[in-house]
Every structure is written in structure tokens, then in C-alpha cells.
Amino acid sequence: MKMLQRLLSLLVLASVLLSACGSSGTVTQSTRSRERNPAVEENTVAALVDGNNTFALDLYQSLRSQDENLILSPFSVSLALAMTYAGARGETEAQMAQTLHFPAQDALHPAFNALDLKLEESDINLDKDQEPMQLNIANAVWVEQTFSFLQEYLDLIAVNYGAGIHLSDFVNNFEPTRKEINDWVSEKTEEKINDLLPNGSLNDDTRMVLVNAIYFKADWLDQFDANDTYDNEFNLLDGSQVTVPMMGQDMYIPYVSGDGYQAVELPYAGNSAAMDIIVPDAGRFEEIESALTSEVFEEMLASMEQTPLIFRMPKFEFESSFSLSDQLSNMGMPAAFDRNAADFSGMTGKKDLFISKVIHKAFVAVDEEGTEAAAATAVVMETAGAAIENLVLVVDRPFIFIIRDLESGQILFIGRVLNPQ
């Protein structure tokens, strides 16, 4: 369904799986369809969301030492690695489970299936003439036509992730397949993510590429009036200032004032998703940011109350790009990146794969009408997230933002703005 709003957030995840050169066999294709009604209890899905959100804040903490704006989609990373985790065994599996806060294999994949379906089918309460949030999730898999994968692995990702399988000739024609995958991603993301797989990302050792694309679109429930946007000073961490366009309006929204910070929640149209904005007091950004865990965030949300507020925040637009291999390894899953220790035998029956790199790119833009964001994750494997009267909050200093689904609580994006320019 075409949406009229300009709000657009995109997550794209791609897992690129490469296996031993020279291996041969017949690809076992899955004929299984996705399970559209998984028998999963609500508390199991809730536990998965809790684990995903814990990983989201863990990953954010591992990246915050970069002296710049930051935007990432931890949900993108979790989902990409969940499909990879399906083939992990032994110590590799144990380390990934601990780092990613995943439950056992038999519980994880049906729960992810149920969560994805729940995100796509969130209840909508329309207001005014606005469209509701749109969230579409698609998965696809490209496999080397001469290489054997375990039937049960292909069935698992087909049933739980709806991942259709495309036979490809990576051995002789990996470059046309790279372009085919990039075209698929571009189509699924309304041409917002192009050339996801750069030159050199595939070669004749490639044996499998798993790709997930998520399309998210929504407007603010209460849009800002562009006529009320004005230039204002924004204070940087080093004490200098920049002039930025500042949006503003009188609002009645969830708000909390804590020790060293203020936080608000801006709902999107349909009340299906929201952006939570955490504004540390001047001089306390590092302190508040370093203490931000999933538990602290949940306490903030629980303490919020509907409050009349004169609210001002800057328009901003930026992108981030980084490799997550070192972060994930240091967070507790080094075996997956060690060609001599990695065990992904659940994919092929052999210990012939390891993760060589995890690349993540993301983009975000916020204006009077809503939010536009895009993210891409590539997992490359090679062989071996009381009312206060006349209260005013002007976000004129660095802040943290989190975009999440309200029904499930799943964090979709997390980032920070150190400089709106």
C-alpha cells in the first residue's frame, strides 16, 4: 500500500555466507512455506524482545566511543545474526546465544517468526486523516547451485523467516548475482538502500547469501508546523555552538524528569510506534549515556506521565557506517570469527564456515512531518531496538533517540545526535 506520508524508516539486513572453494553437491531446496500461525506463547515473544533490547543497548554502548553522531538498527543486526545462529553449534552457538541474548534454537526461530508477524500486524488506531505506520518484512536466500546445504537448515529458515531460495552460480558468475541481490534490496526498500553489497563483497568462494529487508513508514501523530520552525543555537559537547532549524509546538505527551536528564515520547500516527528522546542535562551527556542500559530505559518509560509541554527539537539528517566484527567479538562471541574455532555445521554438516565481517550502515532524517531512516547489515561468512504546567523542553544540546514498536516494545532504531548539522 502506497503511503502519503514522508516518514520512512528502513532496515535492511544481509547475511553473506561463503563456504569452502571446490565443494560440490546438490542444493537441497526447501519446499516448506512460512508458518503464518506459529504456536508461540506471548511470554516467549516478550522474552525475545527483552533479549533483543538488551543486546540493542549493549551494542550501542560498544559503539558510543566514536566521537560523532550515531544511528544503527540493532533489530537488523539481531535478525541477520538469528538466521546465521540457526546453523551454529557447540561453543560458537553458546557464545552467540550469550552475546545476542538468544534463547535455545527450538524457541528462538518460532519466536522471531511470531514477532515479525506481530510487528507487521500491529493494531492501528487512526486519528485525523493520517495513515498508520507501515512495516513490511521480507527475506530471501541465494545459494550456490552446486553446493549442498542441510535440508533441515533450509527448512528452518523457510518456515520461520519465509526465506525463498534462489539458485545461483557463484562459482562462475558471482558478479551478476551480486547485482541481482542489490536490485532486490533496492526494490524492497523503495530504492533507499542501493548497492548494499559493494564490489569485492562476493567471490567464487561464496556459497550462500541471506538477505532481509524491512520497510517502515509513519508520520508523527501530531506533526510540527513548518511555519513555526526557526533557527536556534545548539550547544555541542566541546562548548561551541552551531545554528540549526528548530521545530516546535505545544504538546501533551509522555514526559519524565530524572537525575541528570529529561525524556519525552513522540508517538507516530496510529500509535503503533514512537520515538523516545533522552536529553541529558548540560555537562552530563557522557554520564547519562554510559549508564543507559535496557533496565534503565525501561525505568524511564515506566516513569513517564502525560504532560503539557512546550517542546522544541532540531531537524537532523545523517548516516553512520561501521564494521561490527570487533564489537561482536569483544562482546563475547569470538569463536564465530575464528576460522579455526567457528562451528556452523548446522548449515552444511561440516565446520567449514566462519564469519569474516559484519558491516552495518544506517541513515536517519527527522523533520516536521516525521522520520526517514534506513539501515543495512551484512554478515559475511567465509570458509575455514503529575503534569507540569507551562513546562518547556528545548533540545538544544546532544541527545539520544530510540524508535520502537509500541505493542511489542521492540527497539527498531537507536542513535544519538551530537551535532544536528
The CATH number for 85's domain is 3.30.497.10
Residue identified by cell 537448515 is 153
360 with 252, same domain: the answer is no
Handedness of CA 156, 157, 159, 161 (dihedral sign): positive
Could you give the CA distance from residue 279 to residue 79 in angstroms, rounded to a whole number? 29
Could you give the CA distance from residue 387 to residue 370 in angstroms, rounded to a whole number? 26
Residue identified by cell 528452518 is 156
- Provide the 10 A C-beta neighbour count for residue 259: 9
Picking from 41, 13, 20, the residue whose alpha carbon sits closest to that of residue 412 is 13
Rg (CA), the chain: 22
Instruction: Assess if residue 1 is contained within a domain.
Output: no
Bridge partner list, 401: 277, 415
Could you give the CA distance from residue 354 to residue 309 in angstroms, rounded to a whole number? 51
358 with 405, same domain: the answer is no
Please report, in tens digits, the pLDDT of each residue of the chain (421 residues total).
333 333 333 444 444 444 333 344 454 578 888 999 999 999 999 999 999 999 999 999 999 988 899 988 888 889 889 988 999 999 999 999 999 999 999 999 999 999 988 887 755 555 556 666 777 777 777 888 887 888 999 899 999 998 878 888 988 998 998 899 888 888 887 777 778 888 888 888 777 777 777 777 778 899 999 999 999 999 999 999 999 999 998 999 999 999 999 999 999 888 889 999 999 999 999 999 999 999 999 999 999 999 999 999 999 888 887 788 899 999 999 998 898 998 989 988 999 878 877 777 777 778 888 776 777 776 766 666 433 345 888 888 999 989 899 999 998 889 899 999 8
110 with 189, same domain: the answer is yes
Helix and strand numbers, DSSP H then E, in the chain: 10, 16
Q: Which domain holds residue 281?
A: 226-313+387-417
Instruction: Report helix, strand or coil for 383.
Output: strand
> Residue 280: which CATH number?
2.30.39.10
393 with 379, same domain: the answer is no
377 with 398, same domain: the answer is no
Bridge partner list, 344: none
Do residues 190 and 238 touch, judged by C-beta distance below 8 A?
A: no
**Per-residue model confidence (pLDDT) at position 200:** 83
Instruction: Assess if residue 377 is contained within a domain.
Output: yes
Could you give the CA distance from residue 136 to residue 213 in angstroms, rounded to a whole number? 8
Question: What angle (nearest 5°) sits at the alpha carbon of residue 108, between those of residues 106 and 112?
Answer: 130
- Provide the 10 A C-beta neighbour count for residue 244: 19
Instruction: Assess if residue 65 is contained within a domain.
Output: yes
Q: What pTM does this model have?
A: 0.87
Could you give the CA distance from residue 103 to residue 92 in angstroms, rounded to a whole number? 14
- Provide the 10 A C-beta neighbour count for residue 7: 26
Do residues 107 and 44 touch, judged by C-beta distance below 8 A?
A: yes
Residue identified by cell 506471548 is 42
305 with 361, same domain: the answer is no
When divided into structural domains, the chain yields a total of 2
Could you give the CA distance from residue 191 to residue 177 in angstroms, rounded to a whole number? 18
**Per-residue model confidence (pLDDT) at position 3:** 35
Bridge partner list, 242: 234
Instruction: Assess if residue 3 is contained within a domain.
Output: no
Do residues 315 and 244 touch, judged by C-beta distance below 8 A?
A: yes
The bridge status of strand 70-72 relative to strand 8-18 is unpaired
**What does DSSP assign to residue 192?**
S
**Per-residue model confidence (pLDDT) at position 193:** 78
Picking from 415, 413, 414, 400, the residue whose alpha carbon sits closest to that of residue 9 is 413
Do residues 337 and 180 touch, judged by C-beta distance below 8 A?
A: no
230 with 95, same domain: the answer is no
What is the DSSP secondary-structure string of 258-291?
ETTEEEEEEEBTTSSEEEEEEEEPTT-HHHHHHT
**Per-residue model confidence (pLDDT) at position 125:** 55
Do residues 247 and 313 touch, judged by C-beta distance below 8 A?
A: yes
Helix 90-100 and helix 74-85, axial crossing angle in degrees, nearest 10: 160
Instruction: Assess if residue 2 is contained within a domain.
Output: no
